[in-house]
Amino acid sequence: MPKPNRSDISIGKDKWITFIELDSRQSNAIQLDEILKPIEPFLISLETECVAACCGIDAHALWPDDIANAAKHSAIANLPQRIDNAPKRIIETGGDSFVSHSINNFFDRQTLIQLIYHIAYWVRHAEDVGEYNGEREGSAHSVLKSSSSTRLPLNVRD
């Protein structure tokens, strides 16, 4: 299945996180790199499709097996906890648009938080990824529904 929308983020076979366009909100974007600094080496390890300087978030391999493999080989202490801190800090900013120069992308808050929850789920469940066939429900969907005190509508597409 092709991308539903040109900018949607692929997270599995026929699964996408809806990329919400910022339109005129780019000028108010909050700098994200300091929030992501504790997990930056891990994010760089996901940069296997291209380089972020060229392709932004599309340079990152974000399917469950890619995330699980990177997590298994990561040398970052307490990686799951470090990832868990990112959405909390993003919400605390009160912003609705963000920019990362290291990822080379602008993000709507909802898209960004959903992406981080997806990554966090597969870091925590790296051992389960062998059972994942690209069609199982419940994976990151359950994390998105329950991980934040700020409820966000799901924009994960099958």
Q: Give residue 43's Cα distance to chain centre.
A: 9
Task: Determine, yes or no, domain membership for 110.
Answer: yes
Task: Determine, yes or no, domain membership for 77.
Answer: yes
What distance in Å separates the CA atoms of residue 43 and residue 62, rounded to the nearest whole number? 10
Task: Determine, yes or no, domain membership for 101.
Answer: yes
Cβ–Cβ < 8 Å for 36, 155: no
Residue of 107, 87, 85 whose CA lies nearest to 98: 107
Q: What is the pLDDT of residues 20-41, one digit of tens each?
A: 999 899 999 999 999 999 999 9
Task: Determine, yes or no, domain membership for 3.
Answer: no
What distance in Å separates the CA atoms of residue 97 and residue 90, rounded to the nearest whole number? 10
Domain assignment of residue 146, given as a range: 9-157
Task: Determine, yes or no, domain membership for 93.
Answer: yes
Task: Determine, yes or no, domain membership for 71.
Answer: yes
Cβ–Cβ < 8 Å for 104, 52: yes
Higher-confidence residue of 19 and 134: namely 19
pTM: predicted TM-score of the whole model, two decimal places: 0.81
Task: Determine, yes or no, domain membership for 1.
Answer: no
Looking at the 3D structure of the chain, how many domains does it have?
1
Beta bridge partners, 10, equal: 16
Task: Determine, yes or no, domain membership for 2.
Answer: no
| Sole residue written with tokens 């699964």 | 15
Q: What is the pLDDT of residues 100-114, one digit of tens each?
A: 999 999 999 999 999
